[in-house]
Structure 1
């Protein structure tokens, strides 16, 4: 930008000097040429402004790596076997696995790392080793030809000492969290900003109630300040509140941050009743839901009604008696919104519409609005039902189409695990049907 201002100042100064002379001493040529030069440089200044406003890190289509696949309890967090290949997915991963991701057409990965291990009873020795392993993993991903977003991925838990809920509720713990962000960000500052970005917080679970005073904006400002000081040249990935939803993003004024080297992210799994079938960790009726096709009228309206009836029967038979009515009511409310493909697409597109409107309101270009997570469950752990790949592929196509139509980059959840896009979690072979649904190349 400094060079742009310098090139602008020379013709402008010359023109000012001519205009300061008496009219009789000016010639038309003397006026026109400096004016043309000034206009040309003004155009260059605008171009420089646009260039400077671009993020250091760019991306198009990505994949979330694993987080919880083999992660042991805190009592083992200082064992060599655990720390040797942090993050834990590296224990069964080769460089060839990562190269397969690149060959399929993904240009970047979002790499979740659990901040709890940096904070819960963590010695300086442990943190130093974790940071070294993080940088080693970033290098490994780059070697495979992929860019990477390092995602400090807290998770909500009421039983852990350090989870999303605890970090956001405890000011002292949040301050310690910022210290960890600073240490990781400082380490990442040694990497290439064109191929590495930093996401310092995953899915803040606050500010979902519109009647309460929002807490996230002030926390976000502190989070951004810590990450930006540590990594002054790297793109930061930031989100709104309420599980990084588009609703939460719409509540953020980016002027609070005033940083052009930021990509704003939102997550969406709508319609939830179809994407989370069988998930027994949600605490609601989803544990009893299975077999609902995508799209819902795939097998006809009558067959879909029969499947809904079967789920209701399962809840009535297997749910705890004291929660049965609550779970049935919740299920029926969700089911009422997905009775046709048209309804589903309306629900699916709503977060995109909200994010797009927010971007236009605040002059955030679409390439700086990132669909950071989306997906449809493959198979819940301990459950027999497995979602057919064609159902999932159709859903993923609808989601990626919605993102690409608006110019949003995206990253699907996830490589392995319950939402995995591989055929299994051992061989790590990417599901060709899923890849086709994502618009990528089956291997």
Structure 2
């Protein structure tokens, strides 16, 4: 194992070279790119395990859900897992065999419904700090990914599975984040040579962080970013991140001074200045287009596939019509620029459904804003 890990880490160093360099790696297969075109995050299936507030009947999909997602027009699902849950507690250089087998069973369940899976590692802030600063932690994380990708690639063929090595590194140090991406991707490439890998920029994988990336030499890579602009709209009411978001509600999209005028008196006094500023910014389709034009220019200049792994808006506090308008604009603008996408989320704050397994209630307006066919019966 140790020689294989070292080999993976050696390969990782080579992955940094510019995409224009001569390489023997195959390009991302067209079948993968087709399946990446439209997807959805199933983010609470293999995260928050043991958290009593995460009811499996509400937050995890069953066969009926997966069949419905495929019938509606989704082609892939993005499945996050918590590193702390999946790592072997007795050996941080490998995945827990039983839990990796459980994840593998889920991936086969997904594949049975003609959906491709993208698996992505989540990590808490303390682990991310160590990952970016401690060489021993990076070495064990690379070995973990070697172990996991070796096991999962034995369960599914390369057209059914993509490995995304790290979700939102959460660090301002672009160089340190890049080193992590190199090493983790190198370990996966060593263990699963034919499989497509997804990599992202530093911090929270925004457009700016994507544009800071120099494409790797490995051509069987997809470059991913997350799109939530403007955050004051998409994250209104959010209880995580910036504390002021929790005080926002009723923000319309598109935004204007006139549109925010009736909202301001309903807000906490401390939130009114930021709300007024959101109105003054005049967020609309054209403004989103300017941002996504930057992604398209980077994609076309580097001749690499780009995938928006997350985009969405909190459904509880955004006016439904505004949420649908933002989803439609973001989705149409990405599709027009050849950018694949995965909506965030299936359930929870930004989800498309409410209710437990067997009694799902789909948000018809949001589904149709994504250009998909909503269930006729609402289920």
Q: TM-score range by the shorter chain?
A: 0.7 to 0.9
CA RMSD of aligned residues (A): 3.1
Q: Are 1:278 and 1:286, in contact at CA under 8 Å, matched by a contact in 2? A: yes
Name the TM-score, length of structure 2 as normaliser. 0.82
Q: Are 2:89 and 2:96, in contact at CA under 8 Å, matched by a contact in 1? A: no
Q: By how many angstroms is 1:213 displaced?
A: 6.9
Residue 292 (1) aligns with residue 269 (2): no
Can you list the C-alpha shifts for 1:372-397, whole angstroms capped at 9, x where unaligned?
10000013xxxxxx434322211110
Higher strand share: 2
Provide the rounded CA distance (Å) in 2 between the counterparts of 1:53 and 1:193. 13
Q: 1:92 to 1:213 in 2, by over 3 A?
A: closer
Provide the rounded CA distance (Å) in 2 between the counterparts of 1:285 and 1:431. 27
Q: Alignment partner of 2:187: what SS? A: helix
The equivalent position to 1:429 in structure 2, one of 358, 361, 370, is 361
Q: 1:105 to 1:230 in 2, by over 3 A?
A: same
Q: 1:338 to 1:270 in 2, by over 3 A?
A: farther
Match of 2:171 in 1: 206
Q: By how many angstroms is 1:302 displaced?
A: 3.5
Provide the rounded CA distance (Å) in 1 between the counterparts of 2:186 and 2:61. 34
Q: 1:91 to 1:349 in 2, by over 3 A?
A: closer
Provide the rounded CA distance (Å) in 1 between the counterparts of 2:46 and 2:313. 17
Match of 1:373 in 2: 310
Match of 1:416 in 2: 347
Residue 57 (1) aligns with residue 16 (2): no
Residue 183 (1) aligns with residue 147 (2): yes
Name the TM-score, length of structure 1 as normaliser. 0.71
Q: By how many angstroms is 1:153 displaced?
A: 2.5
Larger Rg: 1
Q: 1:438 to 1:122 in 2, by over 3 A?
A: farther
Can you list the C-alpha shifts for 1:69-123, whole angstroms capped at 9, x where unaligned?
983459x9xxxxx9xxxx9679853211110111111011111111121348456
Match of 1:280 in 2: 239
Residue 308 (1) aligns with residue 264 (2): yes
The equivalent position to 1:149 in structure 2, one of 118, 133, 140, is 118
Higher helix share: 1
Q: Are 1:67 and 1:114, in contact at CA under 8 Å, matched by a contact in 2? A: no
Can you list the C-alpha shifts for 1:330-365, whole angstroms capped at 9, x where unaligned?
x26xx5254365x3335423442222121222222x
Matched pairs, number: 346
The equivalent position to 2:184 in structure 1, one of 188, 212, 223, is 223
The equivalent position to 2:109 in structure 1, one of 140, 143, 166, is 140
Q: By how many angstroms is 1:54 displaced?
A: 3.7
The equivalent position to 1:105 in structure 2, one of 73, 88, 91, is 73
